[in-house]
Structure 1
Amino acid sequence: MKILHAASELYPLIKTGGLADVLGALPLAQAKQGDDVRVVLPYYRQIREKLPFTAEVARRDTFGGYVVIRYATFQNVGVYLIDAPHLFDRQGNPYHNEFYQDYSDNVIRFGILGWAAAAIATGIDPLWGKADVLHAHDWQAGLAPAYLRTWQRHDIKSVFTIHNIAYQGCFNPRHVHDVWLPEWILRTDGAEFYGQFSFLKAGLYFADHITTVSPTYAKEITSELGAYGMHGLLQTRAAEGRLSGILNGVDESIWNPATDPELFQHYDSKNLYAKSANKKALQEHFGLNTQPENLLTVMVSRLTSQKGADLLVESLHRLLPNQPQLQFALLGSGSPELERSFNELAEYYPQQIGVYIGYNEKLAHQLIGGGDLILIPSRFEPCGLTQLYGLKYGTLPLVRQTGGLADTVIHGETGFVFEHASADNLTQILQAALDVWQQPKTWANLQKNAMQQDFSWYKAAQSYKTCYSQLS
């Protein structure tokens, strides 16, 4: 089967979040199962520096200007690169500039991604021919299924995956002409969304099948509360049997405590004692008290209300004065107010709190390898990868019961789960975790249970293969 993925990120070439991790692992897992898998993404400046040698596939004069489609092989997967320096060779990240302002021409930049994906799927590369399945990810690639539909290419099936429905890619409806799509798609049964032109809704409506990244999230996005206005359409697609949830996986070539080159000492479920060396090194890195009886909780996250970071600030304020054994180490960035709140906590409790504002891939591995408990108190979480990494590393996840967190962590068996998005509920579950921490044998059994869970990309790839085979 020929599969073409379309996305805006792919780890380690370019990453701002979990989408990149998925695209860095799923295509490779599918290729290992015998499929011919390729990925199309923009040729950003960061990728140009990492993949300077490419082959030219095609040149086209498009609505986004002159575009060259290039090709390279990366980690045994073919990668098509949309070479348009005027659109993608920029200083900031893929979506906004250094001042966190969305690029004003994002409608063109990601319109080109959808157009190029559809063009490649329909055979713009004569050496590859046409794809059997075009698999588009998130709003940035949402127009790809729309192009296939308007070009009447029913011979190519399309799948659209929602990684986070909160981001919808909405633009002024006048832009529909700018991206060479017919005006008729701007209707309620189409890409129109409250008077705007939504890339996300285009993907949801025109794809042959919709997937999202966990079974529970697939249910949540059919509710008015969880769908950000898309519940009507998603209820219809679910009733048609065209919506399903497939859990993400863990790339064990990157996330494995027995081989992870970023750890201070390797370990596995049969040698958990070696994990303590990583904890001590992490405590020293953040200037925390190094006594092993302290419970070291960690968080690797964007600092937003979605991630429950504000709930955690309040909960830590309540617990720290009376719980000298409780420690917390943070790696993240986001809301300036939340960044300031965590820094203030670190100043007030220097032996208990360590903060690193920003992102550091090496430190992320060390936090997940050295922590005792990883905190993910999200208000909503489509799937989440961090809790999967925590399970793999025996760093027990403490999560809210939502989305993929609810599907992957079992309270009292592989971690700790709380129900309500409140500081009260979070404080109660943190206290419960502290109580279990006082029972070393119980804690060790939880760790071993966690590390035995199988969330491999092989299983996810098998589920997608089944999904593709049933497309009609």
Structure 2
Amino acid sequence: MERQRILMLAPEVAPFKKVGGLADVVAALSKSLAARGHDVRILMPRYAEMEHFDGAQALERPLIVRLGGHEAYGRIWQHTLPGSELPCYFIEHNQYFGGPAVYVGPSGNEDDNGQRFAFLSRAAIDFCEQMDWIPDVVHCHDWPCALTPVYMNTTEAERPMGRAASVFTIHNLQHHGWFHRSLLQFSGLPNSVFRSDGLESMGELNMLKGGLYHATKITTVSPTYAREVQTPDGGCGLNALLRFRSSDLIGVLNGVDLDEWNPTTDPHLPAHFSASDMAGKAAVKAALQVAYGLEVNPDKPLFTVVSRLVGQKGLDLLAACCDRLMADMQIQIAVLGTGEPDLEHSFDQLTQRHPGRFGSYIGFNNQLAHLTIAGADCFIMPSRFEPCGLGQLYAMRYGTVPVVRATGGLIDTVEPFDEEQGTGTGFVFNQATADALYYAIGWACATYYDRPDAFRQLQQNGMAGDYSWDASAAKYESIYDWAVSARQAAFV
């Protein structure tokens, strides 16, 4: 395949700023594509609090962003993605990105988010033109970047950026970016795009909807999720639109950054291990038990969660059945995450009711996240829907057996355990109910105690999987080529 110029546009990128898995995906995919010979550049906002930002240099020339009836000025900072030579650029604008938060406010739909991300979407266009670097493909990630394809099809149609292809990745269809229609005037987009086959939705401006209509090609982060979003249950009100665009919609599984998540070298762990020598995992489990105030006991199965504590993740199901689990099974549970106050409170209360057996850390700590995944026996993901999920991939890499619901990327990546054949990589259940989760954990617990050889085989099966970005990056190469060909054909 020919070398492509690819702009990765995202609201968050690991390790600089991370809210969720989107940040990991952008960084890992970019590195993989760069390693395959492509000219990849990342563009994101500069927030007030960022990791690994030391060493970044500000460009002398300010960035002029052309919005509706006015110009905004920003500063561009340049750095490289840690562990690579891949160039990263950061847009500084104190009004829009001067605070530490990526998504301001509890819903994400607050008015200032509309202006912030309209600015980001427009800035991507002006950045490329000012740098005299016109990409072949602009790869936009989730609703904060959704207006960029709209600009490319309208105000930029007769300019150089209008000839570039756009690829839009849905990381989570639940988040749309709803704003008052007055945002259209602020953005400088023409009124003609405010219609039902564009940005208009129930009288308001829907950023995501506009991006899905205008992107050259659309991807989701797993094949099953690509099918689910076309259904009334999984489409979040956009299922008809996604069925309309189905010929341009492709599901591509996420991969794992194998340098960051490697049980043989992980610097966050007190000991290392591999599929051929699992001895170090016992020391990691003991450190994990200490970290959460659990009884240090190598023989009790330890189940963990590392997640946003929200309804989508099905963790209310775990909270609902935890007292029953503690009463009926000899297990330990540790939960790491932050999110909805009711769930945070529930897990705090469980920690108090079951000292030494249930532990929680409300917040996020990267080192503790690695320890919590690596030291556990099983990893719980009872998601109501899951576009792809990275936790189960990290878990299998560390010999931690996932317990997951059969949805989205979870069913695409976790092979159900077959007791007779000894095949599979995890315990899979179907219904999003507390009872179904209870019995799935019971199944895992019984296998751990009664069939230890089968449990060890599950660990080995998971660790033998290929979770690299290589196959996924190759698919994205094909999608970029497809998108560029489609865009070129539109100008013939």
Q: TM-score, normalised by structure 2?
A: 0.91
Query: Which residue of 1 is the match for residue 407 of structure 2?
Result: 402
Measured in 2, the distance between the counterparts of 1:203 and 1:321 equals 50
Query: Which residue of 2 is the match for residue 85 of structure 1?
Result: 94
1:221 paired to 2:229? yes
Query: How much does 1:338 deviate?
Result: 1.1
**What secondary structure does 1:354 align onto?**
strand
Measured in 2, the distance between the counterparts of 1:273 and 1:440 equals 16
1:419 paired to 2:422? no
Structure 2: which amino acid aligns with 1:250?
V
Query: How much does 1:101 deviate?
Result: 7.6
Structure 1: which amino acid aligns with 2:426?
G
1:12 paired to 2:24? no
Describe the superposition over 1:143-191 as per-residue Cα deviations: whole angstroms up to 9, x where unpaired: 1101110111542100000000000001011210111100110111111
Identity score, percent: 41
From the superposition, tell whether residues 145 and 56 of structure 1 become closer, same or farther in structure 2 (CA, over 3 Å).
Answer: farther
On the 8 A contact 1:56/1:70 being kept in 2, the answer is no
Measured in 1, the distance between the counterparts of 2:465 and 2:12 equals 27
On the 8 A contact 1:68/1:83 being kept in 2, the answer is yes
On the 8 A contact 2:59/2:75 being kept in 1, the answer is no
**What secondary structure does 1:45 align onto?**
coil
On the 8 A contact 1:224/1:231 being kept in 2, the answer is yes
Query: Which residue of 2 is the match for residue 144 of structure 1?
Result: 148
Query: Which residue of 2 is the match for residue 452 of structure 1?
Result: 464
Query: How much does 1:57 deviate?
Result: 5.1
**What secondary structure does 1:292 align onto?**
coil
Query: Which residue of 2 is the match for residue 233 of structure 1?
Result: 241
Query: How much does 1:379 deviate?
Result: 0.4
Structure 1: which amino acid aligns with 2:140?
A
**What secondary structure does 1:106 align onto?**
helix
On the 8 A contact 1:118/1:134 being kept in 2, the answer is no
On the 8 A contact 1:54/1:72 being kept in 2, the answer is no
Measured in 1, the distance between the counterparts of 2:280 and 2:183 equals 57
Query: Which residue of 2 is the match for residue 26 of structure 1?
Result: 29
Structure 2: which amino acid aligns with 1:71?
Q
Query: Which residue of 2 is the match for residue 108 of structure 1?
Result: 115
Q: TM-score, normalised by structure 1?
A: 0.95
Measured in 1, the distance between the counterparts of 2:126 and 2:172 equals 26
Q: Which of 162, 165, 175 pairs up with 1:167?
A: 175
Measured in 2, the distance between the counterparts of 1:15 and 1:246 equals 21
Measured in 2, the distance between the counterparts of 1:61 and 1:306 equals 36
Q: Which of 358, 362, 369 pairs up with 1:357?
A: 362
Query: Which residue of 1 is the match for residue 81 of structure 2?
Result: 74
Structure 2: which amino acid aligns with 1:443?
F
Query: 1:304-315 maps to which residues of 2 (within 5 A)?
Result: 304-315=310-321
Query: Which residue of 2 is the match for residue 196 of structure 1?
Result: 204
Q: Which of 290, 294, 299 pairs up with 2:300?
A: 294
Structure 2: which amino acid aligns with 1:196?
E
On the 8 A contact 1:118/1:145 being kept in 2, the answer is no
Which segments of 5 or more consecutive residues in structure 1 lack a partner in the other structure? none
Structure 1: which amino acid aligns with 2:92?
D
Structure 2: which amino acid aligns with 1:452?
A
Measured in 1, the distance between the counterparts of 2:332 and 2:17 equals 32
Which segments of 5 or more consecutive residues in structure 2 lack a partner in the other structure? 418-423, 487-492
Measured in 1, the distance between the counterparts of 2:86 and 2:409 equals 27
Query: How much does 1:52 deviate?
Result: 4.0
Structure 1: which amino acid aligns with 2:74?
V
Query: How much does 1:202 deviate?
Result: 1.4
Structure 1: which amino acid aligns with 2:226?
A
Query: Which residue of 2 is the match for residue 340 of structure 1?
Result: 345
Say what the alpha-carbon RMSD is for the aligned residues.
1.6
Query: How much does 1:65 deviate?
Result: 2.6
Query: Which residue of 1 is the match for residue 57 of structure 2?
Result: 53
Query: How much does 1:58 deviate?
Result: 4.6
Structure 2: which amino acid aligns with 1:297?
F
